[in-house]
Amino acid sequence: MIKKVLIILSLFLFVGHLMFTVLYLTPFNPVKAKYSFVINGYMEPVFSQNWRLFAPNPASTNNKFLVRAEFRGGKKSDWLDLTTFMIKKNHNNRFTPYNRLVRIQRGAFTSLNQTDEVTLKISKKIEEQNLNREDYEHILENERTKKQDEYALDALNRYAQSYVRSVYPNKEIEKTQIIVQETKAKPFSEKNNEDFEREVNLHKFEWEDYTAVSPVFD
């Protein structure tokens, strides 16, 4: 009996996840517009996906998250690389929890920097008809987009604080701060130029009070 219940529950969860994934990846439509907040809330950041590998807007930067801690007494740690070691672990073995863990920071970055389809269409319409953008700010910067940003930043901070706790298990951590390092891709026209320096941009977030979290990293 228990086995049957578990099978039925697993099938229900699988079908539900599949439905959310299909809706998340389909082109813009009325159903997606109406329930986008629910769909995105479920899919991001752990299950987020995008098609930025392809035209017309392929990804053109490498993104890396760095975090540092402030301990009791005001002393600060060095910047810790959250991204590189996670990607290496994921590449070494795709069938470990690291495959999901690495998606959290990628999904958070996507949520913070990628505008949803509804907002994109409104913004495009404003430009095409040469409308006053200020008249539509309440739509472009609405409660839903703010909640999405808050959720992504909260997930990213908890992720970073878990890693900091793993690195400094015996320290009294009071605050943490995150930086996103964006390195632009090398243009095809410069592929043979060994002296070409890629443009690097840093996006610094505010210090956040430390919240006790379990150290999930080894």
Task: Give pLDDT tens digits for 14-52.
Answer: 888 888 888 877 776 777 767 777 777 777 656 766 555
- Kindly indicate the confidence band of residue 55, based on its pLDDT and cuts at 50, 70 and 90: very low
Residue 45, pLDDT score: 59
How high is the pLDDT of residue 71? 95
- Convert 116-182 into a string of H (helix), E (strand) and C (coil): CHHHHHHHHHHHHCCCCHHHHHHHHCCHHHHHHHHHHHHHHHHHHHHHHHHHCCCCCEEEEEEEEEE
27: cis peptide before it, omega within 30°? no
**pLDDT attached to residue 174:** 94
Residue 18, pLDDT score = 87
How far is Cα of residue 213 from the mean position of the Cα atoms in its chain?
19
Separation CA 90–CA 100 (nearest Å): 9
pLDDT confidence of residue 67: 93
Q: At what angle do helices 36-43 and 2-25 cross, to 10 degrees?
A: 120
Q: What is the pTM of this model?
A: 0.60
Structure tokens at 177: 């701060």
Listed by start position, the domains of the chain span 1-43, 63-185+198-218
| Distance of alpha carbon 186 from alpha carbon 183, whole angstroms | 9
* pLDDT single digits (tens) 84-121: 888 888 778 777 777 777 777 777 776 666 555 666 66
Confidence label for 6 from pLDDT (cuts 50, 70 and 90):
confident
pLDDT of residue 194: 80
- Which segment of 29-33, 140-144, 145-149, 157-161 scores lowest on mean pLDDT? 140-144
What average pLDDT does this structure show over 166-191?
85
Confidence label for 143 from pLDDT (cuts 50, 70 and 90):
low
